Amino acid sequence: MQLPITVAIDFMNQDHADFVKLIIQLDTALENESDEKISHIMAQLFKHTVEHFSHEESEMQRINFPPYPMHKGEHDQVINLLENAVTNWETEHSRPSLKQFIKETVMPWFYQHVETMDSITAQFIHRFDSTT
């Protein structure tokens, strides 16, 4: 599991690195840990993602970033997907489904999101802060 590209704002890079770290923990736990451990990591991943997205969102609002609704829309969609994944995990405890969700949905979305929305947003915040 590799890190996404580096963006212009440090806290975002840190959040992205923490996200990848949690995904790696989850991936490893899916191989050889208990259901309880997996539930615990899923809860951490969910909490981290909510905080990580809301930090980006408050920065976008601070600088009046015009495509804010679009960026927030993607965040909301992913929060919904993660919420469903937590519910599915808690009801079915299906490791193959969770693995598939991470590999085919979460990670492709994440890399694509960082390369597009996050990278443009970070450039905009960086420029705003260096000119004001």
Could you list the residues that contact Fe ion (CB under 5 A)?
56, 118
- What HEC string does 9-69 produce? CHHHHHHHHHHHHHHHHHHHHHHHCCHHHHHHHHHHHHHHHHHHHHHHHHHHHHCCCCCHH
The residue (of 15 and 38) whose beta carbon lies closer to Fe ion is: 15
Q: Select 59 or 118, whichever has its Cβ closest to Fe ion.
A: 118
- For the bound state, the minimum distance from the C-beta of residue 29 to Fe ion, rounded and expressed in Å, comes to 25
* Nearest distance, CB of residue 24 and Fe ion, angstroms: 20
Secondary structure class of 85 (helix, strand, coil): helix
| Residue with Cβ nearer Fe ion (8 or 38) | 8
- Nearest residue relative to Fe ion (C-beta): 118
Shortest spacing between CB 117 and Fe ion, in angstroms: 5
Tokens found for residue 33? 């840990």
